[in-house]
Amino acid sequence: MKILCPDKSEKTIEECAECAKCFPKPIMSMLLKGRNRKKKLNSKPRYGVTRLVGNCLRKTYYDLTEEVAMPLDKLWIFTRGTAIHEFVQKEIPEADNEIFKELIFPNFNVLGFIDAVHDGALYEFKTTANIPQKPQDAHILQAQAYYSMLDEAQRAKVEKILVIYFSMHKIKVFEVPARNIIPYLEARGAILTNSIEMKTPPKREEGYICSYCEHKDICFGHKLSTHNLSRKSEDLPVLSESSAQEPKTPKQATLDV
C-alpha cells in the first residue's frame, strides 16, 4: 500500500511513518499499523465475498490491478471501523466471532469471514457515516452470501440474519431474508476471473458508487490504466475480505460514504 501525501506525492508506509509531519507519532503508528503486509502469491485467485457482492465488479477489477495511494484520512475511517467491530465482538464468545468459510470452484475460491453467528443470529456489522433508511443491496447480498457459505448444520441454527449499522450517533438493526446465493457468487467470480485472464475490465455497473470510486478516471478513459499488462492472475494476491483496506484483522469494516 502507498500513502497519498497532502502534497500529492505517494509515499511508502516506511517513508510516511518516518516523516510523521501530518500527525504525532502515536497517531501515525495507529493509522499505519499492519498496512505493510506483503501480498501472497497464489496459483488460484481467492476473492473475498465483499469483492463479488460489491456494487461494481469493474471497480473490483481495478482494485486488483491498479495501485491507488490512500490518504491518511481514509485510513482513519478504516481503523475506526475495525475498532468498532472489535468493540462489539468482545461481547460475543470468541468461538462465534470471525468465522472463516471458503467456497472452492474450479478456477477460483471465495473467502468469507463472518462477523458472528451467535444465539440463532448471523451478524453483519457495518460502520457508516450515515445510517441508511434500508440496508444497502451489497450488504444484504454479503450477509446472504455468508449464510449460504455455512454448512447445513450451522444454517439450521440461524433463525435470523441481521445487518447492523453503527454511526457515530446511532445504531440500527435490519433483518434480511435468508437466501442461497452461491450461484450468484460463482457467476460473479467467473466474470472477474475471466476479465483478469483476458486483461479486460468487466462492464461498468454505474451508480452512486461512481462518485466515490478511486478508479473513475481510468474507468471512463480520462486516465491511462497503470497496471502491468503482463501480470497474470496467478500473480494476484490472496484477497482477504475488503483487502483493499489492508486491515490488521482478517475482516475490515466496510467503508460507507
Residues that bind ligand SF4 (CB under 6 A): 56, 58-59, 62, 204-206, 209-210, 213, 215-216, 219
**Residue with smaller CB distance to ligand SF4, 56 or 88:** 56
Least Cβ distance, residue 214 to ligand SF4 (angstroms): 8
Task: Tell me the closest approach of the beta carbon of residue 54 to ligand SF4, in angstroms.
Answer: 9
Q: Least Å distance between CB 203 and ligand SF4?
A: 8
**Which lies closer to ligand SF4 via its Cβ, residue 158 or residue 210?**
210
The DSSP secondary-structure symbol of 4 reads E
Give burial (CB, 10 Å; 0-12/13-18/19+) of 18. exposed
* CB of 53 or CB of 219, closer to ligand SF4: 219
To ligand SF4, the closest distance from the beta carbon of 239 in angstroms equals: 17
SS3 76: helix
Residue with cell 466474470: 191
Our CB check for ligand SF4 shows the closer of 85 and 188 to be 188
Alpha carbons 67 and 51: distance in angstroms, whole number: 16
Nearer to ligand SF4, 61 or 174 (CB): 61
Query: What nine digits make up the cell of 67?
Result: 495501485
Least distance CB 216 / ligand SF4 (angstroms): 4
Q: Where does 121-216 show beta strands of DSSP type E?
A: 121-127, 160-166, 171-176
Q: Quote the cell numbers at residue 210.
A: 461512481
Closest by CA to 252, choosing from 98, 102, 117, is 98
Query: Distance between CA 255 and CA 71 in Å, rounded?
Result: 14
